[in-house]
Amino acid sequence: MVEEINPFENAQKQLDIAAGKMKLEPSVHAMLREPMRILEVSFPVRMDNGETKIFKGFRVQYNDACGPTKGGIRFHPDETIDTVKALAAWMTWKCAVVDIPYGGGKGGVICNTKEMSEGELERLSRGYIRAINYFIGPEKDIPAPDVYTTPQIMAWMMDEYSKLKGYNVPGMITGKPIPLGGSLGRGDATARGGMYALKEAAKYLGIDLKKATVAIQGYGNAGQFAARLVTEMFGSKVVAVSDSKGGIYSEKGLDWKAVLEHKKKTESVTGLKGTKEITNEEILELNVDVLIPAALENVITEKNVARIKAKIILELANGPTTPEADKILHKNKIFVIPDFLANAGGVTVSYFEWVQNTYGYYWEEQEVHENLEKKMVKAFKDVLEMAEKYKVDNRTAAYMVSVNRVAEAMKLRGWV
C-alpha cells in the first residue's frame, strides 16, 4: 500500500473536480469540503497480562443534511484521522447515491486486532463505545462494520450502548448478528450490491459475464463474497485472489470454497495447492475482464495505472484509486464502477436493518435482495445518465448525483 498519499486530500480533489463540472456554488462547495464534526478519544483497555493500554479512536460526522450520519468502524494499526475523514466523506456520497435518508460518518481505532485475544478485542470494542456513546445514537450517528470489525464486535458494541441507556437499543448499530436484530442478507450485501452494478455495467458494455475472467484483491468480507457471488450468479471465472499476505493465480480458475477453507486453516489464501503465487501488485495488472479491488485505499496510482488491463474495475474497497490514476483509466477507456457506488450495497442493507429495528418487524431474505437490487440498479442508471449527459468519467458523475442530493437537502434546511 502506498501510505504517503493522503486519502482525505484525494476525497477533496474528487469533490473539487465534480464541483467544477457542475458549477457548484462556493458556499455549498466549502461546506462539503470539510466534516461537520470530529471526535477524538483516548480510552483505557485492560490487557490479558494485567497491564492497561491506552488506545486512540476517532468518530467523524461528515454531513448530516440528509439524515443521521452512518458509517462503519475500522480497527487498523495504520488508522489516521485523515483516513477516517476521507471515509466519512465517501459515506456521505455513498448514502446519497443510493438515495437513503442518511448522512455520512465513520469511526476508527488505532489497533492491531491480529495481536489481540478475543477478550481484549471485546474490552476494546466496549471501551470505544463508552468513549463515544454521547456522540452516537439511532437517530444521530449509526456505526457498522468495516475493515477488521465483525458482527460479533457489533454485538458487544450494541450491548455496551444498551447497558449505558438501560434498555435495548438495536438500531444504534448495524451489521449485527441475526439473533440481536441483524438483517438477513447483510453478510454478503456489499459484494451482492457490487454484483448488481457489475451486471448492469456488463450489459451496457456488451460483455458476457459467463465468459469473463475476474481478479480480486482482498479476501475479507467484500472480497470473499465477491468471489463466491461472481461465480454463482454469473458463472464467471475467478483466476486470482489475494489478501494482506499475498495472492494466488490459476489459469483454470479458483474454487472459492477451497480458497476459503484454506484461508480459515492457514490464515491466508497463499500456498493453496495447484496455484501460482503472485504479489498484491501483480494481481492488479493481470489480463482479466473484471478487476475487483476489495482491500484498502490507494492501490491504483499513477505508478501502476498504465499497466492495468481490465475492462471493468468494480471498486469494492473504499478509495482504491487516486485522482491522478483516474484520469488515465478514463483515457484508456476502462469502465470504472466507483467505490461509493460499487460498494453501497453494505450500507443499503444496513439501512434496511435499521428500518427493521425501528418497526420491530423482520423481512425475509428475498425481500432484502430485491430491494437491494432496485436501489443498486437505480443508482447505477442515475450515474450513467449523468456521465453521458456531462461527458464525464463515472466517478465524477457519481459525485455529481450525490452532491446534487446533499446540496438540495442543505438548501431546503436553509444552511446555504
Q: Which residues bind ligand GLU (CB under 6 A)?
A: 70-72, 94, 144, 146, 174-175, 318, 343, 346-347, 350
Kindly provide the residue ranges of all beta strands, DSSP E only, lying in 47-183, ordered along the sequence.
52-63, 69-70, 73-76, 103-110, 141-142
Our CB check for ligand GLU shows the closer of 248 and 293 to be 293
Q: Is 245 labeled as catalytic in the residue annotation?
A: no
C-alpha span between 346 and 60 (Å, rounded):
19
Closest to 42 measured CA to CA, from 31, 56, 32, 59: 56
User: Closest distance between ligand GLU and the C-beta of residue 2, in Å?
Assistant: 20
Q: At what angle do helices 81-97 and 7-22 cross, to 10 degrees?
A: 40
**Cα–Cα distance, 101 to 351 (Å, whole number):** 8
Question: Sheet of 312-314: strands edge to edge?
Answer: 276-278, 246-249, 237-243, 213-217, 290-293, 312-314, 335-337
Among candidate residues 94, 106, 263, 375, the one labeled active-site is: 106
Q: Minimum distance from CB of 182 to ligand GLU (Å)?
A: 11
Q: Closer CB to ligand GLU, residue 286 or residue 341? A: 341
Dist. CA 350–CA 159, nearest whole Å:
18
As measured in angstroms, the least distance from the Cβ of 336 to ligand GLU is: 17
Nearer to ligand GLU, 94 or 123 (CB): 94
Least spacing, CB of residue 186 vs ligand GLU, in Å: 8
Measured from the CB atom, the residue of 139 and 251 that comes closer to ligand GLU is 139
Q: How far apart are CA 42 and CA 298, in angstroms?
A: 28
Residue with the CB atom nearest ligand GLU in the bound state: 72
Closest separation in Å from C-beta 222 to ligand GLU? 9
Which CB, 72 or 320, lies closer to ligand GLU? 72
Write out the catalytic residue numbers: 106
